[in-house]
Structure 1
Amino acid sequence: MIFGYARVSTDNQTLDSQIEALKAAGADRIFQEKVSGAKADRHELKRALAVLGDGDVLMVTRLDRLARSTRDLLEILDRTSKAGAGFRSLTESWADTTTPQGRLVTTIMAGFAEFERSLILARTSEGISRAKERGVKLGRPFGMTHHQRQEALARKAGGEPVRKIARSYNVSPSTISRL
């Protein structure tokens, strides 16, 4: 079975041209939604991926209708592949995992994405190390001053309830407990 997925970002846009193209390409069922591609929680896409089975095809008019990033695209393609289904984009003819050439190009793209991710991780790690060497404090700043923390610890040691201490400093009880 061929499942189509159509998405537009805003209510002002229309799905009509995508639906028409998907039907013309042979889609048996079309999942459609009006939601920003930046949102990770796209219910109709989840439903489409959930119904995919062996031999099915997930089809879109353009890749940008499906994925927010290369990484997102590769994750969706991985889920599609694990379901035993294929994937096809009508506009990007290279993005067709139902053909050997399409699988090759998709594999190459996955390699590039993985390489890019490892470069980002290496640069981030290097940046964090340099910042630590310069004495930069990383993470969220304390909600209390050093003096307030010492005072709170003394009050806690004196038997005062954690909730009462937290209220007096306008922090959560877990902040006091972590001290």
Structure 2
Amino acid sequence: MLIGYARVSSASQSLDLQLAALEAEGCKVFAEKRSGTTTDGRDKLAEAMDFAREGDTLVVTRLDRLARSMLDLSQIVTTLDAKGVKFRCLQQGAIDTTRSDGKLLLNILGSFAEFETDLRRERQRDGIDKAKLAGVYKGRPVSIEADKVRAMRDAGTTPTEIAKALGIGRASVYRHLGAGNAGASPA
């Protein structure tokens, strides 16, 4: 049986092209809109892998739809191999994990997918740094009033009570108390 897996990173992106290609191959398709930088939270990928049985083939349109890190790619392929499940990419047809040259190509292309992700992250960081220098990017708005945290502590309220009252985590309370009052002892 052919089992298709389709993925896009955000809700605004469309799965249509991947779904059409996988359905044209005769795949039972599992699809989701989740980041590919990790396998955490990718429920449809887990379902597809659980569904796969010995002799089945997991099919994706492109390698980067499956994984964007070599570690994740290796773990997925190792899990499939252990189950006797083959792996195939429609747009990278020479990838056949039952052959040595297919495994080599899989690792080379996987390295490029990870490299592309790293480059994108670097470009994003560069853009944020440039925007900060220009005064355009200010970061996330302040959500905790440090003065209020300190005033509550000065009034005898414990960090746990402050956290509950303000709807924040205790670690945030301690962080604010420590930043403004290094010598204060937490209650």
Into which bin does the TM-score normalised by the smaller protein fall? 0.5 to 0.7
Mapped partners of 2:86, 2:105: distance in 1: 17
Residue 21 of structure 1 is matched in structure 2 by 21
Residue by residue, what CA displacement relative to the aligned partner does 1:123-176 show, whole Å, maximum 9, x if unpaired? xxxxxxxxxxxxxxxxxxxxxxxxxxxxxxxxxxxxxxxxxxxxx7339xxxxx
Secondary structure class of the residue paired with 2:81: helix
| Residue pair 2:38, 2:72 contacting (<8 A) in 1 also | no
Write out aligned runs for 1:146-165 (5 A).
Answer: none
Unaligned runs of 5+ in 1: 114-167, 172-179
Write out aligned runs for 1:1-179 (5 A).
Answer: 1-27=1-27, 29-41=28-40, 42-97=42-97, 100=99, 103-107=100-104, 169-170=185-186
Q: 1:108 to 1:25 in 2, by over 3 A?
A: closer
Secondary structure class of the residue paired with 2:94: coil
Mapped partners of 2:107, 2:14: distance in 1: 31
4+ residue stretches of structure 1 with deviation over 2 A?
Answer: 107-111, 168-171
TM-score (norm 2): 0.54
Mapped partners of 1:81, 1:68: distance in 2: 19
Q: 1:109 to 1:3 in 2, by over 3 A?
A: closer
CA shift, 1:26, in A, is: 2.2
Larger Rg computed on CA atoms:
1
The alignment of Structure 1 onto Structure 2 pairs a total of residues equal to 115
Mapped partners of 2:75, 2:38: distance in 1: 15
Residue by residue, what CA displacement relative to the aligned partner does 1:75-103 show, whole Å, maximum 9, x if unpaired? 111111111110000011222225x3xx4
Residue by residue, what CA displacement relative to the aligned partner does 1:22-47 show, whole Å, maximum 9, x if unpaired? 111221x1000001112432111011
TM-score (norm 1): 0.57
